Structure 1
């Protein structure tokens, strides 16, 4: 932190440099909070267009009954254009929302430093670049702070406040207060690549991409599994379409390289190719999905098979999982093969954690032609979706009768190709594991806070809480089995996870001595 004495910051006039989607969104919430807003863009016409956009947005909100007309007029009156950077000289806060290039941001902040008063905070809306590196261009880096909003700003009610190594803590405190005034939830973060949300988002996005890249499941199937089985608001490809690949792909590459090619964050060639082809997402009308008049086009699922198996043999390697599967088999009225080894005509069902169906079959010396695996990480009864997985040797008859069996009660089933950890297991375990590394590095000021995850990423709960709900030992087993089969270091367990799983401690719990000091 800076050794410079903390100043007092009184923020009433906000300058915004860059009038794209992010700049407009920040202007909207600032104006509605009663702050005076000055818009600047190197393209003078863009400033007028941004103000017209805000006027149109406010009018639509009034028409929908979401905004009082008098407040709409007052907010619009708060927004004025700036012809030059010099017009921002009386601002108490300037937020840059320009191109994600370090040299361009550094040059801007160096220019602004010579224009604004000494009590003006210079904030960067960068999504992944180092705040310390941006601030290094300034003679006084203490007033440079990260202020990372998410698109669309008015709807994504979280903002990260990032302290650079020389940032004045009082400047960050002032931004926390202003965020609350604008109706957003602020979270404090250390200056690390990706901060909190984009760092944590690698678990969902890069693992989802890897699953698709391996040919395990289609984009839509991965999304369906993560939404309906794992309980996430959006699947990885829906989320990537929303953020758009022209934003998210450079962030993936930036975080990967800033962490010196850490395997956990390896980008996928899928996004690079699609970005080059212009298939960037919802705003372009086509991404991983097509969009007609803004509406996502999703293919219908094929009808499920109906022919049930004659009888079913269920692995007992995970006793609790066997009981859950057994209940579904009995509910469907299918005979159960209770022998120690499967009869020649039995469908064989295995319930691996972190293993692929092939390894599960070989470990128990089972006939892989009749083996189908079912994911039991999330409850099977009253589920919204179930996932089955075949070995490369599984016959069509075995696959289809298993599908018919587990869809018999009306719950949809997705059948995927062989994969260590199915889909939900490997994505959720990766999310929890990266969340544990964030806790280990002390990147977030409050590790138990759910707002970055639920508001910024649409997770059902924070990674540590998610891991506790499923059981830290279970997550550790999934990761160790994936790592053991593949030898891929991206799946090595975080020390934070392993130690708490071994000691029977919650993942959300800090070290006992630290808790005693805070009591």
Structure 2
């Protein structure tokens, strides 16, 4: 392990921007023992920030998370800097101002002129090229992206972003400093969206496409992502929380940054919300009306469970269903086959990216697909999709089977890849491309997605758990169904599938 090059607590830290993010970063630095100089063009913003921090520290004292003495000490370390020139003593200055390249470049150029030659400049940008910001500076090699996630005091991740000319020594110093500040840093190269905002796009994009195709309503899709997929929030409720103006703008920024790559195509459904001023929680209306209780998910009505079940071959990542069926008192027969269940006269299989209707046409049998789950034994919900050739009685038998296993069942329209599988496959694909293009390591990509947006597993580790070949098959079938480059397979994923090697390792 290399020796830490973290900035010592004796180094003063400057923060430019006294909004929620800037004041949060100030609190983090002060908590680590640094003297903090907080600057904002609006002096009243600094006063408000200091008031918010005092209240926040008081709440931590009341909850027993902080001593009164440490609360006072932290607040005493944060000082107002009325001018840019007042930041001259700082060894690190981090800007957390408006997401505008020219504004950021101009402010950091002024800072560079007053601080010492050995000072490091940091930008908290979430989407602007660190290389482009550095082009405004005389010493761009000393500029490092230091992207915190909001609220900075709570969320652990910090993306340490290197521009084209960033000195690796500066990047390591910032990485080690973030660790010393009890954060979880990850290294990445400056690219549209960095790690998190790039890799996370399919989480929103695929949900929006499913909605546009009529696969299910927002409440149902969200419930499937939470209760089967293990995500902390569903895509629609998360977009409502973030704000559609912000989420849509990030998608557009990444889309344009990658020269209109169809993987990142913005949604007209979301644009309509932005145009209408339905921005989510902050406006009271988005995909949900936040002035009334949220609508329930569409749950299947109770159905009779079958008395026996046939398992054909290996169920792969859904193998737990066999033991669960036995535990539920269902007689299980095992025979050879391609990895499916047979409930009465209905063939039931995990989605592989084809529709149930397509598979029914191939086999000449009624067909029902079930969706991916993070853990089939512990999940509380499962999603099903029936072929057009499957009648209601046949579907009811499959519903009854999963209900007998203790699952709430949501039946969605016959969309290829369904909800969780389609989402996870696309997340893994984008993560694999991020590694392939040497933007970040596999370890850092997975760590960023777990710590930055609370995914239950890193996308690459998740692909390994399902099987890289299975994920590749899902994406190839999605690409064949839609005929769109959006679902093209990452070269890294394709190679690893052929070699049957781990993505995350």
Using the size of structure 1 for normalisation, the TM-score is: 0.86
3-state DSSP of counterpart to 1:257? helix
Relative to structure 1, the CA distance from residue 356 to residue 311 in structure 2 (aligned partners, 3 Å threshold; closer, same or farther) is farther
Offset at residue 307 of structure 1 (A): 3.7
3-state DSSP of counterpart to 1:407? helix
Deviation track 1:370-394 (CA, whole Å, cap 9, x = no partner) reads x432225655444322110134565
Q: Identify the residue that residue 456 of structure 1 maps to in structure 2.
A: 452
Q: Which moved more, 1:205-214 or 1:236-245?
A: 236-245
3-state DSSP of counterpart to 2:188? strand
Offset at residue 447 of structure 1 (A): 3.4
Offset at residue 464 of structure 1 (A): 1.6
Task: Tell me, yes or no, if structure 1 residue 62 matches structure 2 residue 61.
Answer: yes
Relative to structure 1, the CA distance from residue 255 to residue 67 in structure 2 (aligned partners, 3 Å threshold; closer, same or farther) is same
Relative to structure 1, the CA distance from residue 335 to residue 38 in structure 2 (aligned partners, 3 Å threshold; closer, same or farther) is closer
1:374·1:388 contact (CA, 8 Å) conserved in 2?
A: yes
3-state DSSP of counterpart to 2:384? strand
Match of 2:428 among 404, 424, 432: 432
Offset at residue 237 of structure 1 (A): 2.6
Q: Identify the residue that residue 12 of structure 1 maps to in structure 2.
A: 11
Q: Identify the residue that residue 475 of structure 2 maps to in structure 1.
A: 479
Relative to structure 1, the CA distance from residue 464 to residue 48 in structure 2 (aligned partners, 3 Å threshold; closer, same or farther) is same
Match of 1:497 among 493, 502, 505: 493
Aligned residue runs from structure 1 range 114-193, under 5 A: 114-193=113-192
Offset at residue 317 of structure 1 (A): 8.9
Relative to structure 1, the CA distance from residue 305 to residue 90 in structure 2 (aligned partners, 3 Å threshold; closer, same or farther) is same
Structure 1, unpaired ranges of 5+: 1-6, 510-519
Relative to structure 1, the CA distance from residue 209 to residue 315 in structure 2 (aligned partners, 3 Å threshold; closer, same or farther) is farther
Offset at residue 195 of structure 1 (A): 1.1
Using the alignment, how far apart are the partners of 1:153 and 1:456 within structure 2? 11
2:325·2:405 contact (CA, 8 Å) conserved in 1?
A: no
Offset at residue 130 of structure 1 (A): 0.5
Using the alignment, how far apart are the partners of 2:497 and 2:219 within structure 1? 33
2:144·2:162 contact (CA, 8 Å) conserved in 1?
A: yes
Offset at residue 20 of structure 1 (A): 1.7
Aligned residue runs from structure 1 range 355-366, under 5 A: 355-366=354-365
Q: Identify the residue that residue 34 of structure 1 maps to in structure 2.
A: 33
Deviation track 1:45-85 (CA, whole Å, cap 9, x = no partner) reads 11111111111111111111111111111111111222222
Using the alignment, how far apart are the partners of 1:323 and 1:46 within structure 2? 57
Relative to structure 1, the CA distance from residue 481 to residue 246 in structure 2 (aligned partners, 3 Å threshold; closer, same or farther) is same
Using the alignment, how far apart are the partners of 1:438 and 1:328 within structure 2? 37
Q: Identify the residue that residue 45 of structure 1 maps to in structure 2.
A: 44
Q: Which moved more, 1:178-187 or 1:394-403?
A: 394-403
Match of 1:386 among 382, 386, 401: 382
3-state DSSP of counterpart to 1:480? helix
> RMSD between aligned alpha carbons?
3.2
3-state DSSP of counterpart to 1:123? strand
Relative to structure 1, the CA distance from residue 9 to residue 33 in structure 2 (aligned partners, 3 Å threshold; closer, same or farther) is closer
Deviation track 1:231-267 (CA, whole Å, cap 9, x = no partner) reads 2233223333343333322111111111111111122
Deviation track 1:447-502 (CA, whole Å, cap 9, x = no partner) reads 36642121102112222211111111111111111112221211111111111111
3-state DSSP of counterpart to 1:162? strand
Q: Identify the residue that residue 240 of structure 2 maps to in structure 1.
A: 241
Aligned residue runs from structure 1 range 203-242, under 5 A: 203-242=202-241
Using the alignment, how far apart are the partners of 2:332 and 2:501 within structure 1? 41
